[in-house]
Chain A
Amino acid sequence: MFKFLVKRIYQMIIVLLVVSFIVFFMTSVIGNPVHTMLPERASQEQVDQVVKMLGLDKPLHVQYLIFLRNALKGDFGRSYTHFQPALKLIFSRFPATLEIVVVAMMMTIVLGISLGVYSGAYPKRRSSKFIMGWSIAGISLPSFWVGMVLIFFLSVRLGWFPVSGRGDLGSFFGIRTSLATLDGWKHIILPSITLAGINIATIIRLVRAGMLETMRQDYIKFAKAKGVNSRDVLFKHALKNILIPVVTIFGLQLGELIAFTTITETIYAWPGMGKLLIDAINNLDRPIVSAYLLFVAVLFVVINFIVDILYTLIDPRVEI
């Protein structure tokens, strides 16, 4: 176990180095941020002054080494648009994103697995076909469109939910989160549904496919013959055997959700990290883009690590 941990940490360092290298050099070729900062009629003297202040006049490899050295200290520089330390900005926006991700993932687990198991166990029923039809819609409909439609019908027409924004914050075990207030929940439902749509659909299809294959196995027939009740057959025997791919996809979805909620956050004016990222890209705000991508890289590595641990819990035969 310890060896496993050490190997994983070693791999993480390599991944981070490669990512930092790619991120740094890519952001340095997409445009000169000084041009978006200064008005066009700024004199050459002013341009030079700002270039020097930002350290952009040094040769590229020197800039990279300085960037690495500072990154190890956790200093990614000050955002070019917000003038706050980049990492601090990202962390201050992280809770908001995490909130909608948590709610969306909870919906995914509950609805995805239960509906997937059902439609996999009883594929011929009309209700199963209905679920599958909706899962195709869930995968194909763009989240952008789904968000706008939800807002139009549920907020504007019916007035059940607020249109956009994050609700009031409350305290939950010392953590400030909008999930601790009723107002917060009212605001979070629509964005979470928008986010979860495609994930629920994917999990339903995955679980169903796994169930269809597993239910034909001999040991299931044997369990039924033995007299095990149908719920245990489904959840205690069949489901566990198909969980490995599901957990893998789930881990990927989780990472992807945390990193790229941009569209949903833009539609619902949700003050999370995704909106911060897209603005930073448009404004050529290199400190934020580099800090963000490295943060996401760490996140994916950690999530995959946890997924691997979960494998051993699900399937005792797996060794790490």
Chain B
Amino acid sequence: MKKLLVLLLTFAMLLSTVSVFAGGQTETVEEEPVSEVIIALPGDVTTWNPYMRNEVISNSIQRHVFETLIYSASDLSPEPGLALSWDANDDASVWTIKLREGVTFHNGNPFTAEDVVFSFDFCKADGRGWADSLGNFESWRALDDYTVEVKTIIPDVLLPSHLRNIAIVDKETLEGQDPEFIENTVVGTGRYQLVEYVKDDRVVLEVNEDYWGEKPEIDRVVFRPIPQAGTRTASLMAGEVDLISNVPVRDAEMLESRNDVKVVTEGGISTMMFAMGQTEENPSPNAPMPIQSPDGSNPLAKREVRQAIIHAVNEKEIIDKIMGGYASPAPTPVPEGFNGYNPSLKKYEYNPAGAEQLLDAAGYPRQADGYRFEITLDAPNDRYINDAAIATAVAGYLEKVGIKCNPNTMSRSVFWGYIRMYEGYNSHFIMSAWSEPSAESALIAKDLLYSAYLDVPKRDGWGGVNRGFYSNERVDELIEKALATVDYAERDKIMQEVWKIAWDDAALFTTHSEDAIYAVSPRVEYAPRIDQHVFAWDLSLVE
């Protein structure tokens, strides 16, 4: 008995010494709200510093509290946010932004041009997630309390699309403070204010009574991060949450058959794209499984070979069988409705026989072992919906036409470093997804199509994601021209031509765009956004 007592005592001692480290957790002190909605996303907001991370869940939650100068409307067109108007001079090198008056931060401080200047300074100094948005900003200053002037390094007609990304914070509150304070002090101008935050447990927001615009319908929003998809679905079925996102296809099919909850799907703007290293010189000398061809050349450098590859992939089957129908075809990286979308471009039709003919004509006949040449497809296996399955399927399609293709899938934590241009030179055939929230395909082309040479970029910051090292002088000229064209329709025409040339050149190919699947309880209705940001003001209560 005595021994048992000693045992218990030791245990209690352990417990109490350890509880000394019990961290601070905020208390809840609010009155009864009128309407409350609970949203379960797969992750938590990782930081309340709005410049540190560019990631859709953190963005979604932060945008309830912080606002930007310009908003994205639901169709991604620009809308006045904290800025009322924005005009450029003749060559779009100087922009004058007029700010909204009468706006206050959650702590009562007035919003003025000083806060905008401070926010830009802050983001430039240490804004890891968003500093590239300021990449072309040469300088900025407040002309008066409600006007800000921005000078660009090179003329930039698409400056407003960058202004959608930079949250505005209160200079008086954050100036000169240490990172600890900044992390724990959340003051914005947004529709909601932060009431309680317990990391990985809940984010509690309440409506901002003094909001400058239309107040949202729902008074209180609670975000609960639930990382496991099955648990999320179970929470909805048990009536514990009102909205869940990232519903897996199997769960969606099961939920569809129920009467109480509703499944809501929405097309997205991200497309699954495949880059092919097309330089004459070996693009991946360090690849663990390198390109192997009978004559030692790079087959991907030949346009016919790339075209053959595209003809060999059956994207319809990928959409039906792998994505379960929850995806839409995407012939180019430009979604419909974007500036520069060219409706005449359809994906090369699935035609394995035609592909074989092209490969023969290109000078890569089947060898004694049945294969023409060998390549390796690098893809992540934990980043996109069914990514590993898609990569394996594409490798399979290529095998059918005589191309030995090794699917090399890896975790996203190593994938991004592995394929990074100008770093490892490990890859020549890469699968990843791309999206551009500004609805301007000129920005997509600037990243994906602008020339990149094998040893150096043609232009720093341009062609940064042109992993296939595609290079076409005419395309470069047109992209530069588009980014200097203020008129929307004019720019649209130029970009349509750009994508036609890239399509003819088989610069890269895309297969599909994944749908976002959500589900809601009978209490609410939800209108999802195509950029997959989840906002409480897109929810409405069912009467």
Interface set of A (CB-CB < 8 Å, partner B): 30-32, 35-44, 46, 50, 53, 78, 81-85, 88-89, 91-95, 98, 102, 148, 151-152, 155-156, 159, 162-166, 169, 173, 175-177, 266-269, 271, 275-276, 281-284, 306, 309-310, 313-314
Contacts and interface: CB of A to CB of B under 8 A. Distances in A.
Contact of A268 (B129, B231, B237): B231
Contact of A41 (B129, B200, B465): B465
A95 B10 contact: no
Nearest to A92: B23
A156 B22 CA distance: 32
B346 interface: no
Given A41-B447, A43-B460, A313-B6, A306 B14 contact: yes
Given A39-B54, A165-B202, A269-B227, 9 more contacts: A31-B413, A85-B180, A148-B230, A148-B234, A163-B238, A164-B234, A175-B16, A177-B22, A310-B7
11 contacts: A43-B135, A92-B23, A92-B199, A156-B234, A163-B234, A163-B235, A175-B22, A282-B411, A282-B412, A310-B10, A313-B3
A176 B25 contact: yes
A266 B44 CA distance: 13
A314 B2 CA distance: 11
Contacts of A95: 19, 21-23
Contact of A82 (B46, B128, B225, B416): B46
Interface string B387-419: 000000000000000000000000111101100
Interface string B214-233: 00000000001111101100
A276 B227 CA distance: 12
Contacts of B225: 269
A275 B129 contact: no
Interface string B196-214: 0011111000000000000
Contact of B200 (A267, A275, A284, A309): A275
B296 interface: no
A163 B239 CA distance: 10
A268 B225 CA distance: 10
Nearest to A276: B200
B199 A93 contact: yes
A94 B231 contact: no
A185 to B, nearest CB: 17
Contact of A44 (B10, B47, B198, B460): B460
B132 interface: yes
Interface in B49-75: 49, 52-54
B48 to A, nearest CB: 9
Interface in B7-25: 7, 10, 14-16, 18-19, 21-25
Contacts of A266: 227-228
B477 interface: no
A32 B418 CA distance: 9
Contacts of A91: 21-23
Given A31-B413, A94-B18, A155 B227 contact: no
- 3 closest Cβ contacts across the A-B interface? A92-B23, A41-B464, A271-B200
Given A41-B465, A269-B225, A314 B3 contact: yes
Contacts of B420: 35, 40
Contact of A83 (B6, B179, B224, B230): B179
Given A93-B23, A102-B15, A314-B3, A271 B132 contact: no
B199 A81 contact: no
Contact of A31 (B7, B53, B414): B414
A313 B23 contact: no
Contacts of B132: 38-39, 41-43, 46
A284 B225 CA distance: 21
Contacts of B7: 310, 313
Nearest to A87: B21
Given A36-B413, A94-B23, A156-B234, A271 B199 contact: yes
B238 A36 contact: no
A53 B231 contact: no
Of listed A155, A269, A282, residue having the most chain B CB within 10 A: A269
A81 B47 contact: yes
Contacts of B226: 164-165, 269
B129 A94 contact: no
A308 to B, nearest CB: 12
Contact of A267 (B25, B198, B231): B231
A39 B24 contact: no
A257 B213 CA distance: 50
B325 interface: no
B231 A163 contact: yes
B527 interface: no
B54 A41 contact: no
A165 B224 contact: yes
B138 to A, nearest CB: 14
Contacts of A43: 132, 135, 460-461, 464
Contacts of A35: 416-417, 420
A269 B228 contact: yes
Interface string B164-183: 00000000000000011001
Contacts of A85: 180
Contacts of A44: 460
A292 to B, nearest CB: 14
B222 to A, nearest CB: 11
B144 interface: no
Contact of B19 (A37, A175, A267): A175
B96 to A, nearest CB: 26
A230 B15 CA distance: 34
A83 B183 contact: yes
A152 B46 contact: no
Nearest to A284: B413
A306 B6 CA distance: 12
A73 B267 CA distance: 51
Given A155-B234, A271-B199, A39 B461 contact: no
A142 to B, nearest CB: 14
B91 interface: no
A40 B201 contact: no
B251 to A, nearest CB: 12
Contacts of A159: 238
B131 interface: yes
Given A41-B447, A92-B24, A163-B238, A82 B47 contact: yes
A269 B21 contact: no
Interface in B322-366: none
B534 to A, nearest CB: 17
Given A82-B47, A269-B226, A166 B201 contact: yes
